[in-house]
Chain A
Amino acid sequence: MVEALQRGMEDFARRFYQNLIFEDRWLYLLKGLGTTLSIAFLAILIGTVIGFALALCRISKSRILKGISGVYINVLRGVPLVTQLLIIYLVVFGSVNIPKYWVAVIAFGLNSGAYVAEIMRAGIQAVDKGQTEAGRSLGLSSAQTMISIILPQAIKNVLPTYTSEFIVLIKETAIVGYIALEDLTKVADIIRSRTWDAFFPLITAALVYLVITTVLAALLRKLERRLAVSDRG
């Protein structure tokens, strides 16, 4: 019994060494994590810019702008992200030599833009119409009213949803393996193919995702509580 336990622990230590220490595999995983996080981060930046522009189009009076942004949002939310990634990699940039990393950043950025647009639109429209009227009645232009009065309140409205969009994005980047980009998931899979051990690399990757999303979600809850306090009278 004791002997079996001892053998088990030795086996565990050996596999741990094989999968995470040998040939600096933990460093390899860390590099994959860097790719995962930097793609998500750059994508949310691009998505914010695109999403903001789209949201303004959505609430504008111009039918053309409304139509274009509506189609964009519908298409990018209605097609699976993997499919979009492959199309951008193989069709749009099929004949151009662009690093795969940037293909992924662009694909995720464009897609995230569609979701951020809807978040922002809802946030802007949730601000009471009286705020716009008050701003305009003081002689401010519609742009000045938007920047000084509506947006500061809208951003506060959307911050929680926006942060959870970022958490979703971090997990969704796991599909970049489809274009052979070595993110956290792909690296774990590569290690699996070398060591013939599925458990260690995949569970390690899963735990890393879980820790990051849990920490972000906790920060988010803290943020929500802070915002709620300042809303109370």
Chain B
Amino acid sequence: MIEVKGLEKKFGDLQVLNGIDETIEKGEKVVIIGPSGSGKSTFLRCLNLLEQPTGGEIWFEGEQINAPKCNVNLLRRKMGMVFQHFNLFPHLTVLQNITLAPVKLKLQTKEQANENGMRLLRRIGLEDKADTYPKMLSGGQKQRIAIVRALAMNPDVLLFDEPTSALDPEMVGEVLELMKELAEDGMTMVVVTHEMGFAREVGTRVLFMDGGNIVEQGTPGEFFANPQNPRLKDFLSKVL
């Protein structure tokens, strides 16, 4: 589904990604872990071109997305993204946050989008918040709404950029729970996170990034039980 070949990203003189090769299949739940500055967020943001790669190729559903002729806006409809800081639109109600893109892009009528939006809100038990503004919500509620906002576009893959890092500890559970449900529904997911429990429980594959490279990967079982790379051993000994 997603194929990455020799992906490089430089910010000025700083080389953040050193030629990454990786293939993500439909239905996989890939969890990316690593120390800060290892390039894991940059890697994720390259996948939907929020960062423009400075080298290499990214293919998505048979199309090279970092080729000049690729329509980035069409591509992004199929790749939802969830951010660390939620990035809900503060001037819009919760329901409007969810329906804005489908309606503006003429994928759904206003009625269809509202109906779909309410269905999504019911699913996360927040239908009573439809007409309130994001500032009235807790962090956990905001992030769950940000997730269903991405879902409203019916994406083929969801990218999560540290979705629980900005949350109070007691809010982390509800967000992870929703992500777990999505995983069980078969959604393809790429998740950058520090939640090792989530990686172990939900991930089908775990990648460890360091210094702009994927230095080790494997199924959660072998990855956590039997790490090979000394950097990974060191990292796991600190976070587990």
Contacts and interface: CB of A to CB of B under 8 A. Distances in A.
Interface of A: 128, 130-131, 133-141, 144, 148-149, 152-153, 156, 231-233
Interface in B140-184: 146, 149-150, 153
Contacts of A139: 73-74, 76-77, 101, 105, 153
A135 B101 CA distance: 8
B90 interface: yes
Given A130-B87, A133-B87, A139-B153, A148 B80 contact: no
A116 B160 CA distance: 39
Given A128-B87, A131-B87, 11 more contacts: A133-B50, A134-B89, A136-B76, A137-B80, A138-B77, A138-B80, A139-B74, A140-B104, A141-B73, A149-B89, A233-B136
A233 B79 CA distance: 32
4 cross-chain pairs, A with B, having the tightest CB-CB distances, nearest first: A139-B77, A134-B87, A138-B101, A137-B81
A118 to B, nearest CB: 23
25 contacts: A130-B85, A130-B87, A131-B87, A133-B50, A133-B81, A133-B83, A134-B87, A134-B146, A135-B101, A136-B50, A137-B79, A137-B81, A138-B76, A138-B101, A139-B73, A139-B74, A139-B153, A140-B73, A140-B104, A140-B105, A141-B73, A148-B104, A152-B91, A231-B135, A233-B135
B188 interface: no
Contacts of B80: 137-138
A110 to B, nearest CB: 31
Interface size class of B (residues with CB under 8 A): 20 to 34
B196 interface: no
Contacts of A134: 81, 83, 87-89, 146
Q: Which of A130, A156, A232 has the most CB of B within 10 A?
A: A130
Interface in B99-135: 100-101, 104-105, 135
B213 interface: no
B48 interface: yes
Contacts of B85: 128, 130
B100 A148 contact: yes
Contacts of A141: 73
A131 B89 contact: yes
Contacts of B74: 139
A136 B150 CA distance: 11
A135 B79 CA distance: 13
Contacts of A140: 73, 100-101, 104-105
Q: Which of A134, A149, A156 has the most CB of B within 10 A?
A: A134
Nearest to B103: A148
Q: Which of B74, B76, B90 has the most CB of A within 10 A?
A: B90
A232 B135 CA distance: 8
A179 B88 CA distance: 52
A142 to B, nearest CB: 9
Contacts of B105: 139-140, 144
B148 to A, nearest CB: 12
A207 to B, nearest CB: 40
A138 B150 contact: yes
Given A134-B87, A153-B90, A233-B136, A144 B76 contact: no
Nearest to A131: B87
Nearest to A147: B104
